[in-house]
Amino acid sequence: MTKIKSLVIRGLRGVRGELKLDLDGHSLLVFGENGSGKSSIADALEWFYEDKIDHLATEEIGRKGLEAMRNIFLDEGDPASVTVEFCNSGAVTARSLFFKKGALKSEYGDGSPELEEYLDQSRKENLILRFRDLADFIQSPKKEKLDTLSEIIGFSEVSKTRDVLRKSLGELSREFKRGNYDDSINLQQQKIIAQLGRNVTSEAQFVEAVDEVIAPLKIDLKMRSIADIEAILAAVKQPEDREILELGSFYNRTADWTIATQTALEEIDKLYREYYRQFNKIAGDIEQLSKILLERLLDEGSRLLRNNSFTDDACPLCLQPQSRKRLQDDIDKRIGQLSSFKKEKEALDGSQASLREELKLPMQKIDSFLQQQHIKHDDNRQLESDLEHLKRSLTLIDQQALKKLSPASKLIDPVEASIDRALLERISSFCKERALALSKQRAGDVKFEIQRKILLTKEAYLTICKLTREKHVLLEQQRSMQAIYSEFVKKQQEALEAFLDRFSSDIDSYYRFMNPGESVSGFRLVPIEKGEELQGITLEYSFYDEIHSPPQKYLSESHLNCLGLAFFLTSVKAFNKQNKFFILDDVISSYDSNHRKRFADLLFEKFSDYQILLLTHERDCFDSIKESVNNDNWLSWEIRWDKEQGIYLD
C-alpha cells in the first residue's frame, strides 16, 4: 500500500513559493495558528486526487474551486503545482495548475494508464477528514447514510440488481393480470356448455362430444383426435354456409374481446391517474424539474463517453480540455448526487412504461378488427364507428404519456381521459344480436346447426387450451422469479447485516477508546426497511441502558465529533486498499485535554502502521501530542506565514 515519500507544493493556496515536506513514509504532526495556511497541505492533496476542493467549490468561486487554488500573489505565468513522490514505487507525479488563453487548466505530468488506475481507486477511499466534515455522516438523514455506505462498499450495484428483479416480478404480475385468464377461460367454457350441454376439459371429452353432435348425420367418419376436426367439418360443409359462419365467428370474437377488455380499461384508468399525479408533481416543481433535466443532460454525456461516440480528451458540451476518464468520474458523481430527483423521474418513467404497455394490446386488437373485411359490411357501420371511437380514446391517453416534462406541459384530467364503458356495452350487445340473427336465418337446417356447433366449440376449446398454457407458463415464471427474488433479498440482507455488524463493532470500539467509562456505548448501524425495500440506515446506541437513535438526540457536539472520527477511521481500515496514509485537518478542536490524549493514543495504538498527517491550530494539543509521539515514526513541524514567503516551515 502507498505512503508518501515527499510532497512539494508550489504556488497553491497559502504557499507562494515552495513548501517541501520530506516525509519518507513517516507520520507528520503540524502546528499552525489560525490563518497560517496549514490547511493548504490538505487542500493541495485533495486537489491532486480529486481535481477540486469541496469546501471551495461554490457557485461564486466555481464548480471545482480552482479559481481559489492559485496563490493570489502569483503572476499569470508563474507555476503552481503539487508533486508527490511515493515510497513503495519511487514514482514521482506532478499536477500543474496554469493559465492557457486566459483560462485555468490543470494536468498531470504523467498521463499513463497506471496513474489513471491508481487515481481512480484512490478517489473511492477516505483520505482526508476536516473538522467541518466530522459529523456529516452521523447527522445525515437515513437515506444519505445508506447512499454513502452503498457507494463505499459497492452495495449500490447490488441494490440495482434487486430493483431489476423486483421490476421483473412486478411486470410478470401485471402481464398475468392483463391476461385475465380465469374470466376468459370461464367465458369459453360457458360457450361450450351452451352448445353441447356439458363442459369439456380434455381432448377425449371433446372427441366424444363431437361424435355425439355428428351422429344424426350418419356420416362414415368418427373422431379419434382433435386433428380429425377439419375432415369432419369438410364432410358436413355446405357452400352457402361459409360466409355466414365466418361472419358469426367474427361477431363472437369481438363480443368475447369486449368482456375481457373491461379489466384492461380499469387498469388503464388506474395507471393514468397515478401517471397524472406523478407528472404534475414534478412539472409543477421548477427546481426539481431543472435538476431532472440536468440529470438527463449528464446521462447523455455519460452515454457519449461510454460508447466512444466522443473520443477527445475534452468535455463534449463545452469542449474544454479534460481527461475523459476524469470527466466520466465527475459526471457519474454528479448523477449520484441527483439520485433522489432521479428516483422520482424513474418512478414517472416506470408509470409511463406500464401505462403504454397496458394500452398496447387493446389498441392492437382494435386495429385487427378494423382491418377485417367483415367490418366493411353496411350493417356494421355503427360497429366500425364505435371501434374507431374507442381507438381514439386510447390514442389520446397514449399521447398524454408521450408528453415531455416542462412547466408548460399539461395533461388532460383523469376524469376526461376515462374511457366510456358504454362503448364496450354497445359493441358487445350489437355483436351478440348480430350473431343470434345469423343463426336464426338457417333455423331448421340440421347440417348448418351441427357445423356451427362444431366450429363454436372448436374455437372455444382451442382458446381454452391456449389460455391454459399461457397461464401455466406465466405462473411458473412468477414462481421462479419470486423464488430468485426472495433468495436474493435474503442473501442481500444477510450480507448487509454482517457488514454492518463488523463495521459497527469498530465504530463502537474506537468511540469507547476515546470515551471510556461513559453511559453511551453499543453503537450499531441498523438497516431500515419498508415493505421489501431498503429505505435507509440509522445509528442506534445505548444511553443509560436504553436504545436510542439518532445520536444527535442526546450527544453533545464533542461526542458527535468523536463518533464522526470513529466512523472515518473505521472506513479507512475497512475500505482503503490502495493508500496507507490519511490526513486529519483540525479534527480535535472541540476536545478537552483528556479526549485529546485518548485520541492520540488511539492513533498510536490502532493506526501505528499508517502514515498520518495531523494538522492542528491548538498549541496545547500540538505540544501534548508531540510529547507522546515516537520520534522514530513521527515528524513534528510548525508552519508560519508571511507576505514575502507565504507558508514556510519553522
The DSSP string of 538-592 is EEEEEETTEEE--GGGT--HHHHHHHHHHHHHHHHHHH--SBSEEEEESTTTT--
Q: What span, in angstroms and rounded, lies between the C-alpha atoms of 630 and 356?
A: 70
Residue that is written with C-alpha cell 428516483 in the block: 343
| The C-alpha cell that represents 20 in the structure block | 517541501
Distance between CA atoms of 244 and 452, rounded to whole angstroms? 10
H-only helix segments in 180-241: 181-196, 203-214, 229-236
108 has pLDDT over 90: no
**Burial of residue 526, with CB atoms counted within 10 A of its CB: 0-12 exposed, 13-18 middle, 19 or more buried:** middle
128: Cα separation from own chain's centroid: 28
Residue type, 335: I
CA-CA distance, 528 to 530, in Å (whole number)? 7
C-alpha cell at 433: 344480436
Q: 5 pLDDT exceeds 90?
A: yes
The side-by-side arrangement of strands in the sheet containing 18-22 is: 18-22, 4-10, 81-86, 92-100, 103-108
pLDDT band, residue 284 (cuts 50/70/90): confident
Question: Cβ atoms within 10 A of the Cβ of 41, count?
Answer: 28
CA distances from 440 to 22, 256, 426, 444, 445 (A): 106, 20, 21, 9, 10
DSSP-derived 3-state class of residue 529: strand
Q: What is the pLDDT of residues 487-537, one digit of tens each?
A: 988 888 888 888 889 989 999 999 999 988 888 888 888 887 776 667 778
Give the H/E segment covering residue 128.
Answer: strand 128-130
Query: Lowest-pLDDT range, 8-17, 314-323, 382-391, 402-411?
Result: 314-323
Higher pLDDT, 397 or 438: 397
pLDDT at 336: 62
Strands 533-543 and 520-530: antiparallel
Q: Tell me how far apart the alpha carbons of residues 94 and 81 are, in angstroms, rounded to a whole number.
A: 7
CATH superfamily of the domain spanning 4-127+576-649 = P-loop containing nucleotide triphosphate hydrolases (3.40.50.300)
Spatial separation of the C-alpha atoms in residues 645 and 650, rounded to whole Å:
12
Domain boundaries, the chain: 4-127+576-649, 285-337
Residue appearing with cell numbers 477540486:
52
Q: What is the pLDDT of residue 289?
A: 62
Query: Which pLDDT score, from 0 to 100, does residue 323 have?
Result: 65
Average pLDDT, the chain: 83
Q: Name which of 181-195, 232-246, 316-330, 437-451 the model is least confident about.
A: 316-330
Please provide the size of the chain in residues. Answer: 650
| Euclidean distance between CA atoms 583 and 130, whole angstroms | 8
Structural contact between residues 129 and 613, judged by C-beta atoms closer than 8 angstroms: no
Query: What is the model's pLDDT at position 389?
Result: 94
pLDDT of residue 311: 60
Q: What is the Rg, in whole angstroms, of the alpha carbon atoms belonging to the chain?
A: 37
Closest CA to 137 of 591, 617, 603, 569: 569
- Say which range, 126-135, 141-150, 159-168, 211-220, has the weakest mean pLDDT: 141-150
CA–CA separation, 384 vs 250, rounded Å?
Answer: 13
Burial class for 473, CB neighbours closer than 10 Å (0-12, 13-18, 19+): exposed
DSSP-derived pairing of the beta strands 611-616 and 27-31: parallel
pLDDT in tens, 60-71: 555 565 677 788
Higher pLDDT, 315 or 354: 354
Q: Which of 280, 312, 309, 504 is nearest to 407 (CA)?
A: 280
Residue 31's H or E segment, with its range, is strand 27-31
Q: Which residues contact 175 (CB under 8 A, 6 or more apart)?
A: 474
> Has this prediction a pTM greater than 0.75?
no
